[in-house]
Amino acid sequence: MLNNLGRVLLVSCLVCLVAASAAGEGPVIKVHGPVVIAFFDTQGGRGFDTEVVLDDFQFYAAQVREKLKKAGVSFEQVYSRDFRVEVGKKRRTFRAVKMVGYFFAAPGKKPLIEYGVMTDADLMQLVRDHFGIGPAE
């Protein structure tokens, strides 16, 4: 049997574990229509290669943002390995298995996940293929 101090310590540990787990889930992206979530895991370490990939990721994100907006697709950038996607009352936690990629989501549609840096043209093609929308380039 645990004494009172033991119970307090056990409850404190459990609260810490739950808080740490919740903190690791990252930001919440609410999905009301088609959205592309560009993610980059900033905790994967730094180095020349990582910096080059990050530069490319940010360059193409800047290039595609307005094109997606014109096509009626939201665009979110997340600098975390974990994030939550909320569609209606359902919330799903996503944990990336690679440093960089894209999560395509829309209500009533199965998500699509692509890893690696993509050009704006590649992203627009996937938007057309997955969501069936977007201007021709």
Q: What is the mean pLDDT of the chain?
A: 83
Which secondary-structure segment (H or E) carries 49?
A: helix 48-70
| Model pLDDT for residues 60-109, shown as the tens digit of each residue | 999 999 999 999 999 999 999 999 999 989 999 999 999 999 999 999 99
- Lowest mean pLDDT: which of 8-12, 49-53, 70-74, 94-98? 8-12
CATH code of the domain containing 37: 3.40.30.10
Q: How many CA atoms lie less than 13 Å away from 97 in the CB half-sphere? A: 3
Query: Measured between alpha carbons, how far is residue 30 from residues 14, 83, 91, 103 in Å?
Result: 29, 11, 9, 13
Query: Residue 112 pLDDT > 80, yes or no?
Result: yes
**Domain contains 10:** no
Q: How many CA atoms lie less than 13 Å away from 83 in the CB half-sphere? A: 24
**Domain contains 74:** yes
Neighbouring C-beta atoms of residue 16, cutoff 10 Å: 10
**Domain contains 33:** yes
Q: What is the pTM of this model?
A: 0.78
Quick one: pLDDT at residue 8? 32
- Total domains in the fold of the chain: 1
**Domain contains 89:** yes
Of residues 19 and 98, the one with the higher pLDDT is: 98
Q: How far apart are CA 78 and CA 37, in angstroms?
A: 7
pLDDT-based confidence at 43, cuts 50/70/90? confident
pLDDT-based confidence at 117, cuts 50/70/90? very high
Of residues 67 and 15, the one with the higher pLDDT is: 67
Q: What angle do CA 32, 89, 68 make, to 5 degrees?
A: 15
**Domain contains 65:** yes
Q: How far apart are CA 102 and CA 105, in angstroms?
A: 10
Residue 87 neighbours by CB under 8 Å, 6+ apart: 31, 105, 107
**Domain contains 88:** yes
* Residue-range definition of the domain harbouring residue 43: 26-131
**Domain contains 5:** no
**Domain contains 115:** yes
